[in-house]
Amino acid sequence: MHYRLATMDDLTEICNMIEAAKQLMSEQGIEQWDDIYPVCEDFEEDINKKTMFVVMDDAQLAAIYVISEECDDEYLKCEWENKKPCIIHRFCVSPFFQNKGIGATVLNHIEKQLIESGYDSVRLDVFTKNPYALRLYDKNGYVKRGYADWRKGRFLLMEKKLDRIADSVFLTEANEQI
């Protein structure tokens, strides 16, 4: 897997992957994303802000994610434990790569990336009617801190304290590869 900042050259492929993901989620009864959110303009803005990353497997787009300190006002109502967070937005594994452990692999990479950038925790929101995402975050140590009610329904607000021990392991592995 290769991780890098998204560019405008990736936009069409990102939008096509998201449309496929929306269709699959709808077939699974997960009405989380639609024609209003997320849309190509959201991804274009993420790319311009340099907050969107793509995950490539050879030449194929396997996943996308956004990491940013920006959050909705609903996040401000929550009781968080950690003081220097970053938030994951629009995390999506391509339907062609699902059920292969890539979600957990990418999530682990994101956490290491945030540790390297000096964050002490990662936060996100997850749709309560998306059992796959709920299971992923639960298995990976995310803790429920509250909830938000948005247009599509209830979302859990979750947080994970980032472990500095993992940081030293990550840096050791990176140095061994050099």
d(C-alpha 92, C-alpha 132), whole Å: 11
The 10s digit of each residue's pLDDT in 15-37 is 999 999 999 999 999 999 989 99
pLDDT at 163: 81
What b/e string do you get for 90-114 counting C-beta neighbours within 10 Å, with b at 16 or more?
bbbbbeebbeeebbeebbebbbbbb
Contact 89, 137 (CB under 8 A): no
The 10s digit of each residue's pLDDT in 140-160 is 999 999 999 998 889 999 999
- Point out the residues of the chain with pLDDT beneath 70: 164-178
- Look over the chain and give the mean of its residue pLDDT values, rounded to a whole number: 90
145 vs 87, 131, 158, 176, CA distance in Å?
A: 14, 18, 5, 37
Provide the CA 162 distance to its chain's centre, in angstroms: 15
pLDDT at 77: 87
Question: What are the structural domains, with CATH classification, of the chain?
Answer: 2-177 (3.40.630.30)
pLDDT at 176: 46
d(C-alpha 140, C-alpha 108), whole Å: 8
d(C-alpha 6, C-alpha 52), whole Å: 6
Using only C-alpha atoms, what is the Rg of the chain? 16
pLDDT at 164: 64
Q: 47: how many CB neighbours lie within 10 A of its CB?
A: 20
